[in-house]
Amino acid sequence: MVSTVDASSFVGRDVISMRDFSREAIVYLIDAVDHLARENKPLLQGKILATLFFEPSTRTRLSFESAMHRLGGSVIGFADMRVSSTTKGESLADTIRVVEGYCDVIVIRHPADGSARLAAESTELPVINGGDGTNQHPTQTLLDLYTLRQECGRLDNLKIAFLGDLKYGRTVHSLIETLSYFDCELTLVAPQGLGLPTDLIEDLRERRVTFEERGLLSDVDPDIDVVYTTRIQKERFPDQLEYERVKHTYQLDRRVISSFRKRVILMHPLPRVREIHPELDQYSGAAYFKQAHNGVLVRKTLLALVLGAYREQ
């Protein structure tokens, strides 16, 4: 089959949801990460990235900044909405229309679902979603997929268990939606009330993805390849007592890992609270810090692509 995706397919594009990209485009992007990792050219010299972070972030913001600096570009922005004019009542659309005059590309993180799409509709510049509420986190998904392929050598025929807060966790929503392009078996393990939202469950059914829902970690197939764990998203709970009830439901440690038949790949978008015991940090399948570090490579590639600076070799 002749590929219809090339570097020009990404120029000027917004990155709001992984669903805006085909399987072919996603694989192209992940391959491009490997190509760019070998290059050290200042591809984005003279370009400016604006990082508008209305919610806390360590990895996403800093890895975007690092990516831009490593490509010779520069960064402006804020990491705390309290220092922006939002506190004076400025609308998101107005903020974006002002900032578009200062930069070439925008990354936004915001507590409201749909805010990144709204931002993208307010400007002609490419807008990248760094996490919108409980909705999507596409660049995390790209680095998750890149790490998955690095660790497992493939993206099809994997048995993956998702563990933790599947209701509010946007990294899980983005990744699960994207995995429906690949031929994987999913096990969804969540405490009662924190399962995957029904629209996403319906979507998995429609796309004929093989999946099962479980409440206990001990119900997971011992032949599993990957466990993707997440933090219970404390800040999204309307009732903090409810958070207290579920906060430490699952904790992976050596004992749990030894119940699986093979070496499992352990993934987590971080930050972790108590989901993964630090004793597992030396375990050969622990991939969570690699994920965080891969974030720079993946975001370098994405920035170079949307700004039209990536060249196929």
Q: Which residue type does 176 have?
A: I
Considering the complex, state which of residue 47 and residue 299 has its C-beta at the smaller distance from ligand NCD: 299
- Report in angstroms how near the CB of residue 230 gets to ligand NCD at its nearest: 6
C-alpha distances out from residue 67 to 124, 201, 256, Å: 22, 35, 36
The 197-216 site mask, x for binding ligand NCD (CB under 6 A), equals --------------------
Binding residue for ligand NCD, selected from 47, 110, 117, 170, defined by CB under 6 A: 170
Binding residue for ligand NCD, selected from 73, 77, 126, 131, defined by CB under 6 A: 131
Q: Please list the active-site residues.
A: 59-60, 88, 109, 137
Considering the complex, state which of residue 257 and residue 267 has its C-beta at the smaller distance from ligand NCD: 267
- Report in angstroms how near the CB of residue 129 gets to ligand NCD at its nearest: 11
Interface with ligand NCD, residue 60, by CB under 6 A: yes
The 292-311 site mask, x for binding ligand NCD (CB under 6 A), equals --------------------
Binding residue for ligand NCD, selected from 120, 270, 302, 307, defined by CB under 6 A: 270
Binding residue for ligand NCD, selected from 138, 191, 195, 269, defined by CB under 6 A: 269
* Torsion sign across C-alpha atoms 122, 126, 131, 137: positive
Considering the complex, state which of residue 95 and residue 230 has its C-beta at the smaller distance from ligand NCD: 230
Residues numbered 220-239 forming contacts with ligand NCD, rule: CB under 6 A: 230-231
Considering the complex, state which of residue 161 and residue 270 has its C-beta at the smaller distance from ligand NCD: 270
Interface with ligand NCD, residue 137, by CB under 6 A: yes
Which residues form the interface with ligand NCD (CB under 6 A)? 59-60, 131, 137, 140, 170-171, 230-231, 269-270
